[in-house]
A = this chain, B = another copy of it.
Amino acid sequence: MAKTGYFVVIGCGRLGSRVAGYLSEQGHSVVVIDAREERFERLPAEFTGFTIHGDASEIETLKQAKMERADVVMALTSDDNTNFMLAQIARKMFGVTRVISYVHNPENMELFKDFSIEAFCPVLLAFETLKGLLEEMKS
């Protein structure tokens, strides 16, 4: 990847908007997709990227986002199945080398791993954090 990259962020929720804002701040090119236009209001005022109001499960929307040029695609919708499908489409149809997916249900992590999809699960991150807080307590 060049010093700055081209990022497609799918899902402009609490995490997606924050990540998109951060990437834009870091000087990257960013396109954010969301089916609910009002969610773009979450983006910081300084956001210099593009927004696409559309359904990311339609190929047309992904083409519009020039997904084939993306260095990284982040599948951050609120639905694990959608994120799984987006990761597969990004890689197989658009040849994107790096896709990172949000996994809501910890039980789905295995499926994503089986398909070698880079994934993170905030529930598991929170669980580890809580375990850490309780460990501290013992000492």
Q: Which residues of A contact B (CB under 8 A)?
A: 1, 14-15, 18-19, 22-23, 72, 74, 98, 100, 102, 104-106, 118, 120, 122-123, 125-127, 129-131, 133-134, 137-138
Q: Which residues of B contact A23 (CB under 8 A)?
A: 134
Q: How far is the CA of A74 from the CA of B19 in the complex (A)?
A: 28
Are A126 and B105 closer than 8 Å at their CB atoms? no
- Copies assembled: 2
Q: Is the CB of B120 within 8 A of A15?
A: no
Residues of B within 8 A of A130 (CB): 15, 19, 74, 100, 120
Return chain B residues, CB-CB under 8 Å to A74: 130
- Please state if B126 and A102 are interface contacts (CB–CB under 8 Å): yes
> Which residues of B are found within 8 Å of A127, using beta-carbon distances?
15, 18-19, 22
Q: Are B129 and A14 interface neighbours, CB within 8 A?
A: no
Q: Is the CB of A18 within 8 A of B123?
A: yes
In whole angstroms, what is the CA distance A130 to B16 when docked?
A: 11
User: How far is it, in angstroms, between the C-alpha of A48 and the C-alpha of B18 when the chains are bound?
Assistant: 40
In the complex, chain B residues whose CB is within 8 Å of the CB of A102:
126
